[in-house]
A and B are shown apart, each in its own frame.
Chain A
Amino acid sequence: MTGLGDLLDDVVEDIDAVLVFTKDPGTHEQFDDEEFETIVVATENAVEADKFVSLPLQFKDLTGRIRYALEGALDAEYIADGDDVVCLTTFIEDDGIDTVVRVKGDQFSHTGLYDLFVNSRADSEVVRNVFEVAIELGKKGQKGKPVGALFVVGDAGKVMNKSRPLSYNPFEKSHVHVGDPIVNVMLKEFSRLDGAFVISDSGKIVSAYRYLEPAAEGVDIPKGLGTRHMAAAAITRDTNATAIVLSESDGMVRAFKAGELVLELDPEEY
């Protein structure tokens, strides 16, 4: 056992901060009042910690979760670039901490994953709600069949000027916002329509059936993605919007911002 203990000691030696992924006050208290910084990361600040990073989604993917937490902590200046950070998190079990990970503060190149949720033009709540719709749609599909969808969130005025209607807008003169359960059902029903959904900064669904017409020259996205992704990447380069795409072919949810692919996740994992 001493070998194991030593190994664990090595892992947690000379660290500057601890990221605790917990909602349990007991677990939090265990690490409070230590010589290093304790930062709580969770979907809500249930333990009322001073230093807290809010997770927008319950990331199942460990790397994504740690990446988001690190970027969040860096952004709030809880940690600095060169700091050694230990993450205490849950990997296999549903609750309780079973994993200790040591990372450098600048382990990941800055991908803008945190910015996607926090510093988007649209409210972070809206971005999160659209993600939830996309993930649920990816999981269940439309009546069991896989569907694709493209949501353009934020900067709606500009997006509307850089797109044209394919048909009558079903959301005209309606004042519905993403996040309402009934609206999510509507979005799912309308996802069989061609074209993009345009959603405003505050979450109002401005239009469906939009054909995006941005200039796509020089947009660089991974090869193999289709026209839907290309249109999404291009519109985010031309405007300050964020695009969230559900791929029809491989069922992945991808987010684009400023013409770049920022996040890629598998709906089946959520």
Chain B
Amino acid sequence: MQVDVGDVVRSLFSEEAAFTVAIIVLITGGIFAYFIWRWVHLLFERTGLNAAVEGTTFERSVSRFGTSTSGIIATLLALFVYTVSIIVAFNVARLLDFGVFWAQVTRNLPRLFIAVLAVIVGLIAGDKAKIVIKERLRSVKLPEATILGDLAKYSIFYIAALIALAQLGVATTALLVLLAAYTFGIVFLTAIACKDFLAAGAAGIYLLLVEPYTIGDEVEIGEKRGIVQEVDMFVTHIESDGEEYIIPNQRIFRTGITRIRT
């Protein structure tokens, strides 16, 4: 906005009028900020975000200061709006005349705001991810399983920090490279780990659709001979006297099946 409101008012009315306009801007800014504050609170309540962030570390540490996540974000937004209105008012009233400084501030304020928001959202999302993963793995009584939750949590923290730093204009190229390497590592390792599962699943789909053998048939697969007890996506159970072989489906495909007809 290149039009200087202050100059327009000054040329139309008088110096005093400009001052009045500045005060009006301040007051409207205040009211507007209040409504934004209210609206965010309502939005959090209506969309169930309050319940969603419940139990995260961030929410807990915030509530120790007597506020909540919705409170913090609402205050932040209101503060942002109010700061903008103050700057406009000061500009109109020409109370301070270091224009360059204010121009800098107006340019950087939204970025700062987004950075803070990214940090808050990152903290909450990371905690929430950890809680969700932990709940999922609760039936697995394995202490090592908790590391998955932590991994997800810190990954999200890292990405949030990256966004915040990028917003503030800090050089993040090195961190970005690290993130890429990390993501690649995870994808690569998962692919290696799941290779057999993929092969077994593909073979399993064929076996289930075409049913070359079914439960009750006597078959020989590789060296193993017995009665088919169960066929699922990944494995086939074959039982002979007292021994149950659980054979991955891709092995069945590779060695072929001998059906024994009696």
Contacts of A106 in B (CB 8 A): none
Closest A residue to B231 by CB, please name it: A204
Whether A223 is near chain B, meaning CB under 8 Å from some CB there, is no
Q: Which of B211, B215, B232 contacts A157 (CB 8 A)?
A: B215
Contact A206 B227 (CB under 8 A): no
In the bound complex, CA of A157 to CA of B244 (Å): 12
A156 and B208 in contact, given A161-B227, A204-B230 (Cβ under 8 angstroms): no
| Chain B nearest Cβ from A47, distance in angstroms | 16
Query: How many residues of chain B are within 8 Å of chain A by beta carbon?
Result: 14
Closest B residue to A206 by CB, please name it: B215
In the bound complex, CA of A148 to CA of B30 (Å): 77
Query: How many residues of chain A are within 8 Å of chain B by beta carbon?
Result: 15
In the bound complex, CA of A159 to CA of B216 (Å): 7
How many pairs of residues, A versus B, come closer than 8 Å at their CB atoms? Answer: 38
Contacts of A202 in B (CB 8 A): 230, 232
Closest A residue to B232 by CB, please name it: A202
In the bound complex, CA of A112 to CA of B218 (Å): 31
Whether A71 is near chain B, meaning CB under 8 Å from some CB there, is no
Within B156-214, the residues touching A (CB, 8 Å) are: 208, 211, 214
Whether B57 is near chain A, meaning CB under 8 Å from some CB there, is no
Whether A155 is near chain B, meaning CB under 8 Å from some CB there, is yes
A residues in contact (CB < 8 Å) with B: 155-161, 172-173, 175, 200-202, 204, 206
Q: Beyond A157-B227, A201-B229: 13 further Cβ-contacts under 8 Å?
A: A156-B215, A156-B229, A157-B215, A157-B216, A158-B227, A158-B229, A160-B215, A172-B214, A200-B215, A200-B229, A202-B230, A204-B215, A206-B214
B residues in contact (CB < 8 Å) with A: 208, 211, 214-218, 227-230, 232, 237, 239
